[in-house]
Amino acid sequence: MVSDVHLQGFGDDTNRELEASFLSLIAYCTAQNLTLLILGDLFDYWMEYPRQKYAPAFGEPILKALKHHGEQVEPVLYITGNHDNWTFGHIASPEIEVEAEHRMISFDNRQAILFHGDGLADTAWDYQRPLYHRLLRNPSFIRVYQTLSSPKFGVWIMSRFSRLTRMLNISDPEPLNNLAKKMLYQSNIDLVFCGHDHLPRLIDFEGGTYMNLGAFHLHRTVGLVRQGEPMLFQWNATQGTLTKFTG
């Protein structure tokens, strides 16, 4: 599983290298028959205009590879994040399951929760998204925004806004650490997986284990679960190998 790839968020050379690195990881997962889970911010910005049947063309090589993986192994789970949540049907397919909130799954009888990390709609966890994140997801705001802006201009604005918010982001591990600790202590959840704050880490708390996948675009970090045990690796696209992440 991976998080925070932020494709198309950088200069041309970096974008090409990052896309090639991620495509090689998808191919590796397909060859190794590994289930692929994406926990948000795959793209640095993403906006579909369903009425105009428009979606950013830069996503097609990645989506094609993900669909191939979904055909060969099993459907890819794609949980959207705060940079790529404006999906209206273009990505979803029998090969790619799109989830806007969180997903509960089981790894060898260990209950796991997967989400991006910018917030949860479920009020039980008292971890709301920031106000402007909730505004950006509001259907009325989206309708007005897409009425006032053409697809290309609207996506251009979003690309600039996404880059600015990513550059201004100050990473702090404590909010998600505290949330994971609460989830593991107060529920039957055994494993917590997310990303968002770009700080890769694997922590054992009372009641289970928390993994933050970090930012693939920074660390090339990849999470694996084997026999119910989570492990954090680093992808080397040149060698086509995963090695244990040591920070």
Q: Which residues are CB-neighbours of 165 under 8 A, at least 6 positions away?
A: none
Question: What does each C-alpha distance from 34 to 9, 194, 232 come to in angstroms?
Answer: 27, 19, 15
CB 217 within 8 A of CB 208: no
CB 117 within 8 A of CB 197: yes
CB 47 within 8 A of CB 154: yes
* 14 closest CA partner among 218, 225, 184, 242: 218
With a pLDDT cut of 70, the percent of the chain lying above it is 99
Give the separation between CA 135 and CA 236, rounded to whole angstroms. 38
Q: Indicate yes or no: pTM above 0.85.
A: yes
Question: What does the pLDDT read at residue 132?
Answer: 85
Question: What does the pLDDT read at residue 142?
Answer: 95
Question: What does the pLDDT read at residue 139?
Answer: 93
pLDDT in tens, 171-204: 899 999 999 999 999 999 999 999 999 999 999 9
Q: Does residue 162 sit in helix, strand or coil?
A: helix
pLDDT in tens, 28-67: 999 999 999 999 999 999 999 999 999 999 999 999 999 9
Q: Pick out the chain residues at pLDDT < 70.
A: 168, 170
